[in-house]
Amino acid sequence: IRNRLTVLNLQTRSHLGELRTTGGDNIQCCLIDTGTNQTVSCDIYDRQNGQYFITYIAQSDNLHILNVYVNNAPIKDNPF
Protein backbone atom coordinates (compact mmCIF):
# COMPACT_ATOMS: atom_id res chain seq x y z
CA ILE A 1 0.00 0.00 0.00
CA ARG A 2 1.42 3.34 -1.04
CA ASN A 3 2.95 5.55 1.67
CA ARG A 4 2.32 3.01 4.45
CA LEU A 5 4.94 1.14 6.39
CA THR A 6 5.07 -2.55 5.45
CA VAL A 7 6.66 -4.95 7.94
CA LEU A 8 7.67 -8.50 7.02
CA ASN A 9 8.98 -11.12 9.43
CA LEU A 10 11.74 -13.37 8.11
CA GLN A 11 12.47 -16.60 10.04
CA THR A 12 15.83 -18.10 9.12
CA ARG A 13 16.66 -21.81 9.10
CA SER A 14 19.87 -23.79 9.23
CA HIS A 15 21.14 -25.79 6.26
CA LEU A 16 19.30 -28.75 7.87
CA GLY A 17 16.00 -26.85 7.82
CA GLU A 18 15.92 -26.24 11.58
CA LEU A 19 14.78 -22.87 12.93
CA ARG A 20 17.72 -20.67 13.81
CA THR A 21 17.69 -19.16 17.29
CA THR A 22 20.50 -16.60 16.97
CA GLY A 23 20.97 -13.52 14.82
CA GLY A 24 23.94 -12.11 13.00
CA ASP A 25 23.18 -13.30 9.47
CA ASN A 26 23.87 -11.01 6.52
CA ILE A 27 20.32 -10.20 5.35
CA GLN A 28 19.86 -8.12 2.20
CA CYS A 29 16.74 -7.07 0.36
CA CYS A 30 16.01 -5.32 -2.89
CA LEU A 31 12.53 -3.98 -3.62
CA ILE A 32 11.85 -2.83 -7.19
CA ASP A 33 8.88 -0.74 -8.32
CA THR A 34 8.00 -2.37 -11.67
CA GLY A 35 6.20 0.74 -12.91
CA THR A 36 9.19 3.04 -12.54
CA ASN A 37 11.98 0.43 -12.34
CA GLN A 38 13.29 2.26 -9.27
CA THR A 39 14.69 0.60 -6.18
CA VAL A 40 12.81 1.21 -2.94
CA SER A 41 14.80 1.39 0.29
CA CYS A 42 14.39 -1.51 2.74
CA ASP A 43 15.46 -1.57 6.38
CA ILE A 44 16.37 -4.75 8.24
CA TYR A 45 16.18 -5.23 11.99
CA ASP A 46 17.93 -8.24 13.55
CA ARG A 47 15.84 -9.58 16.44
CA GLN A 48 18.83 -11.70 17.59
CA ASN A 49 16.67 -14.85 17.68
CA GLY A 50 16.84 -16.06 14.07
CA GLN A 51 14.10 -13.65 13.03
CA TYR A 52 14.47 -10.39 11.14
CA PHE A 53 12.01 -7.59 10.42
CA ILE A 54 12.15 -6.20 6.88
CA THR A 55 10.42 -2.83 6.51
CA TYR A 56 9.74 -0.54 3.58
CA ILE A 57 7.39 2.18 2.37
CA ALA A 58 6.23 1.86 -1.24
CA GLN A 59 5.86 5.21 -3.00
CA SER A 60 3.34 4.00 -5.61
CA ASP A 61 0.53 1.50 -6.14
CA ASN A 62 2.56 -0.26 -8.85
CA LEU A 63 3.50 -3.92 -8.59
CA HIS A 64 6.70 -4.36 -6.58
CA ILE A 65 9.16 -7.25 -6.64
CA LEU A 66 11.03 -8.14 -3.45
CA ASN A 67 14.28 -10.11 -3.48
CA VAL A 68 15.64 -11.33 -0.12
CA TYR A 69 19.08 -12.85 0.45
CA VAL A 70 20.55 -14.55 3.52
CA ASN A 71 24.34 -14.68 3.57
CA ASN A 72 24.37 -13.79 -0.15
CA ALA A 73 22.04 -16.66 -1.12
CA PRO A 74 18.46 -16.03 -2.31
CA ILE A 75 15.79 -17.41 0.00
CA LYS A 76 13.35 -20.09 -1.16
CA ASP A 77 10.71 -18.93 -3.68
CA ASN A 78 12.60 -15.64 -4.21
CA PRO A 79 11.50 -13.13 -5.62
CA PHE A 80 8.13 -12.19 -4.16
Domain segments of the chain as ranges: 5-72
Q: How many CB atoms lie within 10 A of CB 5?
A: 10
Check the CA dihedral 72-52-54-67 and report its sign: positive
Determine contact, residues 68/77, Cβ cutoff 8 Å: no
Return the CATH class of domain 5-72.
Answer: mainly beta
The number of C-alpha atoms within 13 Å of 9 and in the hemisphere containing its C-beta is 6
pLDDT in 10s for each residue of the chain, 80 residues? 789 999 999 999 998 999 999 999 999 999 999 999 999 989 999 999 999 999 999 999 999 999 999 999 998 888 78
| pTM as predicted | 0.87
Nearest by Cα to 58 from 39, 44, 45, 75: 39
